[in-house]
Structure 1
Amino acid sequence: MHCESTAGKKGAAGEREATGSNPTDRGKAGCKRTLLTDAKGIPLAVVLSGANRHDSKKLADVLAAVVVPIPLFDEEEERHLVLDRGYDTRACRTTAEQHRFTAHIPNKPSAAEPLPSPADPKRHPPRRWVVEVGHAWFNQFRRLQTRWEKRQDLYLGFVHLAASLIIWRKLAPVAPPRLLSG
Structure 2
Amino acid sequence: MHADFLPSPAVWSAVEPLLPDAPSGPGRRGRPRACDRQMFFARYYVLGTGMQWKALPRCLGAAATVHDRFQEWTLAGVFKQRWTSGLVQLQAEGRLDWDGQCLDACQTKAPLGGEAVGPHPTDRGKGGVKRHVLAEAQGLPIGVAVTGANAHEVTQVHAVPDAIPVLPPPAEGDFAPGCCADKGYAAEAIRRLLAQWGYRVHLLGRGEEADKCRPPGYRARRWVVERTRARFHRFRRLLIRWEKKVANYEAFLHLACANTVWRHSLLFLG
TM-score by length of 2: 0.53
Instruction: Name the amino acid aligned to 1:5.
Output: L
In the other structure, the counterpart of 2:201 is 103
Determine which of 122, 126, 138 is the counterpart of 1:24: 122
CA 107–148 in structure 1, closer or farther in 2 if over 3 Å, else same: closer
Structure in which a larger fraction of residues adopt helix? 2
Show the counterpart of 2:246.
152
Letter in 2 for 1:71: P
Distance 1:92 1:107 in 2: 15
Secondary structure of the corresponding residue to residue 70 of structure 1: coil
The corresponding residue for 1:59 is 157
> Does residue 72 of structure 1 match 2:165?
no
The answer on whether the counterparts of 1:21 and 1:50 sit within 8 Å (CA) in structure 2 is yes
| 1:6–1:151 Cα contact (<8 Å) kept | no
CA distance in 2, matches of 1:144, 1:153: 13
- SS of residue matched to 1:39: coil
Q: TM-score, normalised by structure 1?
A: 0.77
What does residue 259 of structure 2 align with?
A: 165
Distance 1:71 1:152, change over 3 A: same
Overall identity of the aligned pairs, in %: 37
Residue 85 in 1 paired to residue 179 in 2?
A: no
Q: 1: CA distance between counterparts of 2:240 and 2:112?
A: 13
Consecutive unaligned residues in structure 1, runs of 5 or more: 8-16, 109-114, 176-182
Q: Residues of 1 paired with 2:263 and 2:139: CA distance?
A: 12
Kept after mapping to 2: 8 A contact 1:88/1:107: no
Question: Residue 158 of structure 1: SS of its match in structure 2?
Answer: helix
Distance 1:77 1:88 in 2: 23
Following the alignment from structure 1 to structure 2, what is the Cα–Cα distance between the partners of residues 71 and 123?
A: 27
Q: What's 1:130 paired with?
A: 224
- In the TM superposition, residue 107 of structure 1 has moved relative to its aligned partner by 6.5
Per mean C-alpha deviation after superposition, the further-off stretch among 99-108 and 127-136 is 99-108
Aligned counterparts of 1:157 and 1:64: Cα–Cα separation in 2: 17
The answer to whether the Cα contact below 8 Å between 2:112 and 2:243 also exists between their aligned partners in 1 is: no
* Runs of 4+ residues deviating >3 angstroms: 115-118
1:34 aligned to 103, 114, 132, which one? 132
Between Structure 1 and Structure 2, whose CA radius of gyration is higher?
2
Q: Which runs of 5+ in 2 are unaligned?
A: 1-110
Q: Distance in 2 between matches of 1:96 and 1:65?
A: 15
Q: CA RMSD in A?
A: 2.2
- SS of 2:156's partner is helix
CA deviations 1:140-173 (Å, max 9, x no partner) are 101111100011011011101110011111221x
Q: Tell me: higher relative CO, structure 1 or 2? Use CA pairs within 8 A at least 6 residues apart.
A: 2
